[in-house]
Structure 1
């Protein structure tokens, strides 16, 4: 993924910071420009979220979707397309994924760190 901010200039006085909430999954090859992501969001593979976009909580952005600058994505919905459009409400099963997936990534991180806690650095010598 590419994470990008836009600095303040005379073209864009305030700049666009990148703010990412809790339990956010960013897919492979996704690009996040200076935007705001709430909590419990899935950004699909190859999606692009442009400057000034605001993504509310519990949103799914489909793979390959392009979110235009300044667009607001409302909570509890699935968005797809280029430019993005509302497809439907997020299902109950999809809502469960919002907490399962980030927890699973943390579990895998802990597992890999435990496996690597030995003399793994000496293996390269």
Structure 2
């Protein structure tokens, strides 16, 4: 498959693996040991750089415009490094920074939020727009955290969790529409 105006680069003998159903928007840079699952959408001008560890993006997840996803390599205190593992049905808002962390299925990272090494965001949990989740913090399932540094604000109720999943469905359909337009 060819992608218009997209850089897909192998590094250290590891090339990105992209499911054919995924939408990779023009302007993206996908580098190294990156796995992108079915119906994923990587929006305009995102960078996913796995040159020192790996990045996995699970089915139906989306990385919105201008976001950066990276990882960290082995260190004396952490020989396995910090891969970035993004589950299924995850929303990552515009211009987010996601680095060496785990986003469980159905997690939400808000616009311009930052998630640092060793962090974990649980299922149906949300890091609010502009928040900073400092190293090795965990947001439990169904909690909303905000601020810099981020702190617990409240629980996520059923309606909010359902709303996040509507967002996922929207991005799957919108990704298909953009994919068709780009492939023309």
**CA 13–114 in structure 1, closer or farther in 2 if over 3 Å, else same:** closer
Higher mean displacement: 91-100 or 56-65: 91-100
Unaligned runs of 5+ in 2: 1-66
Q: TM-score w.r.t. structure 1 length?
A: 0.86
**CA 48–115 in structure 1, closer or farther in 2 if over 3 Å, else same:** closer
1:16 aligns with 82
Q: What's the secondary structure of 2:91's corresponding residue?
A: strand
Contact 1:3 1:33 in 2 (8 A): yes
Query: How many pairs does the alignment contain?
Result: 118
> Partners in 1 of 2:114 and 2:182 — Cα distance?
34
Q: Encode CA deviations 1:28-68: one digit per residue, 9 max, x unaligned.
A: 11101100110111100110000000111110110111111
Higher helix proportion (structure 1 or 2) = 1
> Partners in 2 of 1:116 and 1:4 — Cα distance?
26
Q: What's the secondary structure of 2:145's corresponding residue?
A: strand
Using the TM superposition, give the Cα deviation of residue 116 of structure 1 relative to its aligned residue in structure 2, in angstroms: 5.1
1:51 aligns with 117
Higher strand proportion (structure 1 or 2) = 2
> Partners in 2 of 1:34 and 1:115 — Cα distance?
33
Contact 1:28 1:46 in 2 (8 A): yes
Q: TM-score w.r.t. structure 2 length?
A: 0.60
Unaligned runs of 5+ in 1: 121-125
